[in-house]
Amino acid sequence: MTALKQYQRIEATGLWRPSPDEQRREVVVSIGEATLTISDFNDSALTHWSLAALERQNPGAYPAIYCPDGDPGETLELAETETTMIKAIDRLQRAIDRARPHPGRLRWLSVAGVALAVVAVLLLWLPGALQRHVVSVVPEIKQQEIGDTILQRIERVSGKACNSPEAQDSLDRLAKRTGVRQIVILPAGLSNSLSLPGGTVLLNRALVEDHEDPAVAAGYVIAARARAAQQAPLDDLLDRTGPTTAFRLLTTGELTTEIVDTYTEEILAEPQPQISDDDLLAVFAQAALPSTPYAYAVDITGESVLGLIEADPMAGRTLEQVLPDRDWVRLQNICGQ
């Protein structure tokens, strides 16, 4: 022990009393490897005290009074002038204490580790697990209700959804042809297409008014479906608004106006997430719709959508008509002039 080597030759005089009934006597005190040796002036050892079990009865006061652990009746007094010996005892006791095992500290560290693990689970795993559970248990009718609420908030920006009795049947046929529950045409406020919880797909009016081929509008519906397959709209809503929204929806079945507004503002302001060509083509193939008209509507040069053109799942096949011409003309006029 480095600390011990520094003090091996230190000696001091003190007053030792074996018991409360005996007189104090002057002794010589010396430090051994792990003990304090008390001797008479003839160099005969009177007793040995373990440094690890040595207690000071009056910390900070003088004369310094020491006793063996558990035996306060046997004492050793060191005068204030024996500063070197007193400091040596203190330093060696600290060194011994650092070297010994500390089961309490280990226990505390174990408890702290378990607590940190629990906190990590709560912070990292629980929110995601709660969100997945909520998405899986919210019934379809409730998701449709949420989608309708979001649509009402979007209409504050876009204007009321286009509605025409003559064109509604055509719109329903397009929804059936593209495999979605409902399609809603908005006059503004939306860049192209968007899926809402409950199976509603929103389309900008330009997608039906500015294209002669109904396969273009159908393609944008397919793109919205592909994004919804990548992440369900309800899951996206909970992602954006946090675990408290998931908890509220699970316990009350309701969303606040603030939550809906926050989600609505974000989805209208941010660009739609990218979809890989493979994922998009898989949905086109499932719906038996061509991807080429959609691809050229996205990029008229075809350069950035070459994969959708070259791997069109309906290329060379007989195509089922997306909509009859009469239905498409009606649909193009759904927003009026």
**Peptide bond preceding 63: is omega within 30 degrees of 0, i.e. cis?**
yes
Which is higher by pLDDT, 89 or 194?
194
Question: What's the pLDDT score for residue 126?
Answer: 57
Which is higher by pLDDT, 119 or 322?
322
Identify the burial level of 234 via C-beta atoms within 10 angstroms of its C-beta, where 0-12 means exposed, 13-18 middle and 19 or more buried: buried
pLDDT in tens, 191-241: 899 999 999 999 999 999 999 999 999 999 999 999 999 999 999 999 888
Question: What's the pLDDT score for residue 104?
Answer: 59
Q: DSSP 3-state helix, strand, coil percentages of the chain (rounded to 5)?
A: 55, 15, 30
Question: What's the pLDDT score for residue 3?
Answer: 47
pLDDT in tens, 140-165: 999 999 999 999 999 998 999 999 88
Which is higher by pLDDT, 122 or 216?
216
Given the DSSP bridges, would you call strands 182-186 and 200-204 parallel, antiparallel or unpaired?
parallel
pLDDT in tens, 24-71: 999 998 887 778 888 888 888 888 888 878 888 888 889 989 888 878
Which is higher by pLDDT, 80 or 70?
80
pLDDT in tens, 259-295: 999 999 999 988 888 999 999 999 999 999 999 999 9
Gap between the Cα atoms of 100 and 52, Å rounded: 9
**Residues 244, 247, 248, CA angle at the centre, nearest 5°?**
85
- pLDDT bin (cut points 50, 70, 90) of residue 82 is confident
Which is higher by pLDDT, 204 or 90?
204
Q: Give the three-state DSSP class for 65.
A: strand
CB distance 52 to 34 below 8 Å: yes
Count the alpha carbons within 13 Å of 322 in the hemisphere toward its beta carbon: 26
